[in-house]
Amino acid sequence: MQDKQLMDWTEWAALDATAMAELVRDGEVSARELAVQAVQAVELLNPKLNAVIEIFDDVVTDPYRDGMNSGGPFHGVPTLLKDLGSRMKGRHQENGYAWQETYISDLDDPLTLNWRRAGFNLLGRTTCPEGGMSFVTESPKFGKTRNPWNLDRVSGGSSGGSSAVVASGILPVASASDGAGSIRFPAAWTGLVGLKPSRGLNPMPVGYNEGTFPSGVEGMVTRSVRDCAAIHDQLYQKPLGSGFMPYPTPVKPFVDEMYGPERKFRIGLSIADWSRTDNVDPLLKQAVLDIGGSLEGMGHTVEEVHENDICDFESFFPAFMNASWINPLGVGLQATAQAFGVELSARNTSVQVLNHIVAAAEVTLGEHFAAEALNPLFTRQWGYFWERGFDLLLTPLATVQCPHFSAGYELSCSDDFETFVQRLTDAARYASPANATGLPAISLPAGLDHNGCPFAIQFMAPWAREPDLIHIAAQLERANPSLFGQIPPVHVTKIQDDSCSP
């Protein structure tokens, strides 16, 4: 692009979305100037990261053409939407599939409208794996999305394009979605803040509701806790009839939890196996214990809890995978391919996606309903846990350090499907229960692993208690500022002579 760069990259990277919006509001920068510099960052870094599918040049030229609200609190702030979930009118959405390239949405989904009403400038799309089915962002069409901390490592998934964009300083925020950890894994492995909201908080795309896809929610990844809070305040507006779950109106804005007297919580702590293979990385366990000790020093009550006092995890995981993933996604994918007139094969689809369809066809209707029928039991077990007086539960986010691309979590993995699914389930044991039960959970940076990549801890809370998650996150951000907003080797501040020098 020929436009003059607005500010130097150090100034750019220091701005979270809240600060960027203040500059627009004060008349110091324009929406178009911000869009131009965001695109320059994409052009310079995306060849290394492969995180951005498309930039909408017409929106860069005219930021208001698609309905950006000049009166919104985030007026002019550029962002990108994940290529899975809520759609943008007149734009492609491919969901990571090579064979969906002809699809163009004829509407803005409700959450997209909320982004626009908040004043965000939606500049384009970020990468995801096929159907969001793994925490490795890789697909036959778009290839590998790389972690700005270590280009040989994954950026998480399925929102890995968004996490790479935000962690590298291209943008302060990008959209994400979470069906079994897909907001939290990318946030964890790139050093970001990732809140998975309660089921029913944010509106779902047209054609979905909390019954048709109960495990899935949408949100974003950010560098700061205040952005996480303030942007969620703008996203949770739901049109009447867009869902059947009545979500209680928050007493005050989430962002208010950033300020005022610090509250003290009773926090459960668990680093147990949760019925899975005992392969929780010792570094990740120790980080949770260390954070627990810090929280006690801050005046919180921290108690290690037994996994049997939380949930019957041995029954939980196979039921969740059957009811919420294998059967509905596999059957839905086959129907979608038929609607596109496409025959799925190894030429256009990853091996584990094809295996997924085969596995789904082997699940009987009775088996599916039996798995679904167990969910209220598990959800009530979590209810009993919270009724014991716990405000929060502290766990690792993942059981493994940030993996490389051939660690067996990628959809191109050639292992048998059962092995692949069990490996994913093991790694996501602490993340997926929030999806099955609808609980809110947040991933927060906790340090760097042996490969130079970030790792995270997770807090879960009772339903509709996002304010408690924001409050504890803000406390930890103030107590450990060096863990938040760290600079990876591939970053806008390291651009020299119009090239990225990691």
Residues noted as catalytic: 82, 158, 182
Residues facing 454 on adjacent strands: 448
How wide is the angle at C-alpha 444 spanned by C-alphas 441 and 450, nearest 5°? 130
**Number of Cβ atoms within 10 Å of the Cβ of 306:** 9
Instruction: Specify the DSSP element, H or E, that contains 80.
Output: strand 78-82
**Closest of 353, 359, 429 to residue 398, by C-alpha:** 429
**DSSP state, residue 485:** S
- Measured distance CA(88)–CA(155) in Å, rounded: 24
The count of residues in the chain is 502
Q: State whether residue 187 is helix, strand or coil.
A: helix
- Measured distance CA(34)–CA(7) in Å, rounded: 9
- Which amino acid does the sequence have at 492? V
**Number of Cβ atoms within 10 Å of the Cβ of 44:** 17
* Helices 31-49 and 17-25: angle between axes, nearest 10 degrees: 150
* Six-digit token string for 281: 């990385």
Phi first, then psi: give them for residue 136, nearest 5 degrees.
-115, 120
Whether the CB-CB separation of 244 and 211 falls below 8 Å is answered with yes
DSSP 168-191: TTS-SEEEEEESSSTTHHHHHHHT
Task: Match 């208001």 to its residue by tokens.
Answer: 64
Helices then strands, counting H and E runs in the chain, come out as 16, 17
- Measured distance CA(192)–CA(254) in Å, rounded: 18
Task: Match 């020098």 to its residue by tokens.
Answer: 501
